[in-house]
Structure 1
Amino acid sequence: MDVLSIVPPLVAVVLAIVTRRVLLSLFLSIWVGGLIAANGNPFGAVAETFTWMKDVMIDPWNARFLVLIAFLGAGAALLFKTGGTEALIKTFEKRITNGKRSLLFAYILGILIFFNDYVNSVIVGNASKDLNARYRVSREKLAYVLDATAAPMATIGPVSDWIGFQVALIAASFASLSLTDVQPYAMFLQSIPWNFYAILSLLAVLTVILGKDFGPMAKAEKRARETGKLVDDEAVPLSSVEHDLGEPFESEQKASVWYFVLPLVTLIVVGVFGLWYTGGGMEGLSLMEALENTDVSVALTWAAFAMTLVGFIIGLRRGMSLKECEETVLAGIRTMLPALIIMVLAWSIGAVVDSLGTAEFVVRLTEGWMTTSLLPLLIFVIAMFISFATGTSWGTMTILTPIAVPLAFTISGVEFIPIVIGAIFAGAIFGDHISPISDTTVMASIFAGSDHIAHVTTQIPYALVTASVAGLLYILSAFIGSVIVLLLIGIVLQTFLFRFFGRRSFYN
Structure 2
Amino acid sequence: MANAAQTDSVSTARWGVAAALWGVSWPLGWFMGGESGALLPAIWPSIVALGVVYLTRQALLGLVAGAIAGAIILTNGQPWAAFLSLMGDYFAPHFTNEWKMSAVAFTLLLGGFAAVLERSGGLEYFLRRYLLRGGESPTRLQAGAAGLGLVCFFDGLANSVLVGRLVSPLADRHGVSRVKLAYIADSTSSAVACVAFLSTWIAYQLSMIRDGFAQIGEEANPYAWFLRSLPYNYYCWFTLLLVGLVIFRQFNPGPIGTYERAAREKVGQGDAVAETSTATSGGLILCVIGLATLFFSLLIGLYGFGLPSAEGDAAAYFPITADKLTAAFGSQAGAFVLVFGGVMASVSALVLFPVSGRSYAKGARAYGQGVKHLLAPVMILVGAWMLSSTLSSLGTGKLLGDLVGQWAPLSLIPVLIFLFGAVISFSTGTSWGTMGILMPLAIPLIANHPGAAGIDLTPFYAAAVGAVFSGAVFGDHCSPISDTTIVSAISCDVSPHDHVRTQLPFALLSALTAALVGFLPVGFGTSPWIGLLLGALVLIGATFLWPVRRVGA
Could you state the TM-score of these two structures normalised by the residue count of structure 1?
0.64
Q: Distance in 1 between matches of 2:108 and 2:70?
A: 34
Q: Distance in 2 between matches of 1:134 and 1:226?
A: 17
Corresponding residue for residue 146 of structure 1: 189
Q: Distance in 2 between matches of 1:59 and 1:85?
A: 36
Match of 1:404 among 430, 441, 446: 446
| Residue aligned with 1:293, SS | coil
- Give the deviation of 1:265 after TM superposition: 1.8
1:210-229 equivalences under 5 Å are: 210=248, 211-212=250-251
| Residue aligned with 1:2, SS | helix
Contact 1:278/1:299 (<8 A) preserved: yes
2:391 counterpart of 1:340: no
Q: Distance in 2 between matches of 1:32 and 1:143?
A: 30
Corresponding residue for residue 491 of structure 1: 536
Corresponding residue for residue 64 of structure 2: 30
Q: Distance in 2 between matches of 1:165 and 1:35?
A: 20
Q: Assess, with a 3 A threshold, how the Cα gap between structure 1 residues 454 and 391 changes in structure 2: closer, same or farther.
A: farther
1:124-180 CA-partner distances (Å, limit 9, x unpaired): 67985654344345556413212223324659xxxx99899989x99x99x99xxxx
Q: Assess, with a 3 A threshold, how the Cα gap between structure 1 residues 13 and 318 changes in structure 2: closer, same or farther.
A: closer
Q: Assess, with a 3 A threshold, how the Cα gap between structure 1 residues 410 and 476 changes in structure 2: closer, same or farther.
A: closer
Corresponding residue for residue 133 of structure 2: 94
Q: Distance in 2 between matches of 1:186 and 1:342?
A: 24
Which amino acid in 2 is paired with 1:429?
F
2:315 counterpart of 1:288: no
| Residue aligned with 1:78, SS | helix
Between stretches 496-505 and 484-493, larger displacement belongs to 496-505
Q: Assess, with a 3 A threshold, how the Cα gap between structure 1 residues 494 and 15 changes in structure 2: closer, same or farther.
A: farther
2:315 counterpart of 1:301: no
Q: Distance in 2 between matches of 1:220 and 1:362?
A: 46
Match of 2:243 among 177, 197, 205: 205
Between stretches 398-407 and 28-37, larger displacement belongs to 398-407
Higher relative contact order (CA 8 A, sep 6+): 1
- Give the deviation of 1:202 after TM superposition: 3.6
- Give the deviation of 1:319 after TM superposition: 7.1
- Give the deviation of 1:264 after TM superposition: 2.0
Cα RMSD, aligned residues only: 5.8
Corresponding residue for residue 273 of structure 1: 300
Q: Assess, with a 3 A threshold, how the Cα gap between structure 1 residues 367 and 334 changes in structure 2: closer, same or farther.
A: same
Which amino acid in 2 is paired with 1:341?
A
Q: Distance in 1 between matches of 2:256 and 2:101?
A: 35
Contact 2:122/2:287 (<8 A) preserved: yes
Corresponding residue for residue 291 of structure 2: 264
Contact 2:67/2:387 (<8 A) preserved: yes
Q: Distance in 1 between matches of 2:260 and 2:226?
A: 38
Q: Assess, with a 3 A threshold, how the Cα gap between structure 1 residues 107 and 298 changes in structure 2: closer, same or farther.
A: farther
Q: Distance in 2 between matches of 1:216 and 1:43?
A: 56
Between stretches 269-278 and 125-134, larger displacement belongs to 125-134
Could you state the TM-score of these two structures normalised by the residue count of structure 2?
0.60
- Give the deviation of 1:89 after TM superposition: 3.6
Q: Bigger radius of gyration, 1 or 2?
A: 2
Corresponding residue for residue 468 of structure 1: 512
- Give the deviation of 1:280 after TM superposition: 2.2
- Give the deviation of 1:344 after TM superposition: 0.7
Contact 1:9/1:353 (<8 A) preserved: no
- Give the deviation of 1:427 after TM superposition: 0.9
Contact 1:263/1:311 (<8 A) preserved: yes
Which amino acid in 2 is paired with 1:466?
S
Q: Assess, with a 3 A threshold, how the Cα gap between structure 1 residues 46 and 483 changes in structure 2: closer, same or farther.
A: closer
Q: Distance in 1 between matches of 2:254 and 2:85?
A: 40
Q: Distance in 1 between matches of 2:486 and 2:168?
A: 15
Q: Distance in 1 between matches of 2:259 and 2:85?
A: 40
| Residue aligned with 1:257, SS | helix
Gapped regions of structure 1 (runs ≥ 5): 17-21, 177-184, 228-246
1:439-458 equivalences under 5 Å are: none
The count of corresponding residues between Structure 1 and Structure 2 is 454
Contact 1:270/1:302 (<8 A) preserved: yes
Between stretches 471-480 and 90-99, larger displacement belongs to 471-480
Contact 1:207/1:498 (<8 A) preserved: yes
Q: Distance in 1 between matches of 2:468 and 2:114?
A: 29
Percent identity, please.
20
- Give the deviation of 1:424 after TM superposition: 1.5
Q: Distance in 2 between matches of 1:192 and 1:81?
A: 31
